[in-house]
């Protein structure tokens, strides 16, 4: 299995600690277990920031980083080994495993955190944490601080600055390393295979969930634990619902089906959308819309390179989509004026993409100092223009209504431009029709 190597986690912790102010401490909790119903839990997924710094896959754990500390800069609180619990729920690393397998300098049982952590915080000037994102953890942190305050008369020194960790950490996460790109390519490869399978399986009379099953099978077979987000399998008019998740409608002859789905490998997402005809053959109207979306995506790729800014790709899609809609008579007027008046938003109401990484809508700023961010080598993003003609749009001829098309690929910025990670699924009309015809 392709995964992030242990040395990379060490490198990340060192890089973060090098950016922290002197005499500071960073504290991050693992994701909590989420209850699905009664005593059934959701599949556990580690918090992305926690995972990024540790690779430690268990709940009930806390990372503590103390740059410059002589007795160890990286302390991990985690669950202790427990024969009885491990018999029921699976193996745990324990404090020994945290040191041996996950590079902690020191490790303590999570049950001892209230006794130990105030002593680690005491005397440090600044505390870095993800303030505001986990109310329960914020409350704990204040309790630990108050323990120190209560001992002020004995000379204990509580920290007096609290700093949001997000800014440093999320900027690091925005630039993907060679190891991260390897994992993202693997996630992309498996997701491409899944989309191909779903295209080949597509038939009128099946249901949206029949195609979702094809995706899930390929994801799991490829070693993915789960999809990176709820798969969207939207046939016919459902393709006009941007985050449709019901996935239970019938696939009908003559309809398009839009699938937006990607798996996650070692906590790295892929995010692919393809749209194709259920019966394997685009109608003239479906094809006309499809060709505009595809051309707009090509125009966007040309705007992704170092020194281009974040919004240029989006602007390129708006230009091509607006001009295309005018050509088909779906919008009337001057293209530049229609763009200025945002007339395209009736058909194209989302942006051309987002950062991609451990979170499908990944962290990282889109603007810096009020200006769109300039792209740099190693940034990963999606390119996903679409046109959605509402089934209720009375301003267009009936033949267009209910057509929804999105095409989405994942790219990483390179020195020359960008590398497309998800090129393994056909997307020209000819290639899709050929693939589907061969599967009939
Ligand atoms: N799958 C969600 C998105 O494309 O942004
Ligand atoms: Mn996306
Ligand atoms: Mn998507």
Q: How far apart are CA 314 and CA 150, in angstroms?
A: 54
CA distance 272 to 265: 14
Residue 362 CB less than 6 A away from ligand 1 = no
Active-site residue among 351, 354, 373, 401?
354
Task: Enumerate residues 6+ apart whose C-beta is below 8 A from 92.
Answer: 58, 78, 79, 80, 81, 82, 85, 86
> Quick one: tokens of 244?
């449709």
Q: Could you tell me if 384 and 371 are in contact, meaning their C-beta atoms sit under 8 angstroms apart? A: no
Closest atom of ligand 1 to 232 CA is 1
Give the pLDDT confidence score for residue 252 in this predicted structure: 98
Is 3 a residue of the active site? no
pLDDT for the residue numbered 102: 98
- Give the C-alpha separation, 440 to 432, whole Å: 13
Of all protein residues, the one whose alpha carbon is nearest to atom 3 of ligand 1 is 271
Q: Which domains does the chain have, with CATH numbers?
A: 6-173 (3.40.350.10), 175-439 (3.90.230.10)
Structure tokens at 17: 């600690």
Cβ of residue 52 lying under 6 Å from some atom of ligand 1? no
How many other β-carbons are positioned within 10 Å of the β-carbon of residue 340?
9
Cite the beta strand spans of 43-132 per DSSP E. Answer: 62-65, 74-78, 106-109, 126-129
Average confidence (pLDDT) per 10 residues, the chain, 440 residues: 97 98 97 97 97 98 97 97 97 98 98 98 97 93 96 94 96 98 98 98 98 98 97 98 98 98 98 99 98 99 98 98 98 98 98 98 97 98 98 97 99 98 98 97
The reported pLDDT for the residue numbered 144 is 97
Q: CA 365 to CA 379: how far, in whole Å? A: 12
Residue 62's pLDDT is 98
Which ligand is closest to the CA of 273, given by its number? 3
Q: Ligand 1, residue 361: give the atom nearest the CA.
A: 5
- Tell if the pTM clears 0.85, that is, is over it: yes
In 186-246 the beta strands, taken as DSSP E runs, fall at 226-227, 232-235
Q: Give residue 330's pLDDT.
A: 98
Rounded distance between C-alpha atoms, residue 396 and residue 335, angstroms? 18
The reported pLDDT for the residue numbered 71 is 93
Atom of ligand 1 nearest to the CA of 260: 1
Task: Exactly one of 350, 351, 373, 401 is catalytic; name it.
Answer: 350
Q: What is the pLDDT of residue 86?
A: 98
């Amino acid at each position: 299995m392709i995964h992030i190597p242990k040395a990379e986690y060490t490198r990340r912790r060192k890089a973060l600690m090098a950016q922290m102010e002197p005499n500071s401490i960073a504290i991050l909790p693992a994701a909590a277990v989420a209850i699905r119903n009664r005593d059934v839990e959701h599949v556990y997924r580690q918090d992305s920031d926690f995972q990024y710094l540790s690779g430690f896959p268990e709940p009930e754990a806390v990372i503590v980083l103390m740059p410059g500390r002589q007795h160890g800069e990286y302390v991990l609180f985690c669950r202790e080994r427990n024969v009885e619990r491990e018999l029921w729920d699976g193996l745990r690393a324990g404090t020994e495993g945290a040191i041996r397998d996950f590079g902690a300098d020191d490790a303590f049982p999570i049950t001892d955190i209230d006794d130990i952590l105030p002593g680690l915080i005491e005397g440090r000037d600044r505390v870095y944490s993800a303030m505001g994102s986990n109310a329960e953890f914020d409350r704990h942190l204040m309790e630990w601080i108050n323990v120190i305050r209560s001992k002020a008369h004995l000379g204990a020194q509580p920290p007096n600055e609290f700093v949001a960790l997000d800014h440093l950490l999320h900027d690091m996460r925005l630039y993907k390393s060679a190891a991260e790109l390897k994992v993202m390519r693997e996630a992309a490869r498996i997701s491409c295979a899944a989309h191909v399978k779903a295209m080949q399986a597509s038939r009128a009379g099946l249901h949206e969930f029949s195609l979702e099953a094809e995706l899930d099978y390929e994801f799991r077979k490829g070693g993915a634990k789960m999809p990176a987000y709820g798969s969207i399998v939207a046939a016919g008019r459902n393709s006009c619902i941007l985050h449709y998740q019901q996935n239970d409608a019938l696939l009908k002859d003559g309809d398009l089906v839009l699938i937006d789905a990607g798996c996650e490998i070692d906590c790295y997402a892929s995010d692919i959308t393809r749209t194709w005809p259920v019966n394997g053959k685009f109608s003239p109207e479906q094809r006309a819309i499809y060709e505009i979306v595809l051309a707009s995506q090509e125009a966007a790729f040309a705007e992704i390179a170092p020194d281009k800014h974040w919004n240029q790709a989006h602007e390129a899609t708006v230009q091509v989509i607006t001009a295309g809609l005018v050509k088909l008579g779906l919008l009337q007027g001057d293209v530049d004026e229609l763009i200025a008046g945002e007339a395209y938003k009736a058909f194209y109401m989302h942006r051309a993409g987002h950062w991609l990484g451990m979170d499908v809508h990944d962290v990282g700023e889109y603007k810096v100092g009020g200006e769109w961010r300039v792209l740099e080598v190693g940034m990963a993003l999606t390119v996903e223009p679409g046109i959605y003609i509402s089934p209720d749009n009375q301003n267009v001829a009936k033949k267009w209504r209910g057509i929804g098309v999105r095409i989405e690929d994942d790219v990483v910025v390179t020195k020359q431009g960008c590398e497309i990670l998800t090129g393994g699924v056909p997307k020209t009309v000819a290639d899709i029709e050929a693939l589907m015809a061969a599967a009939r």
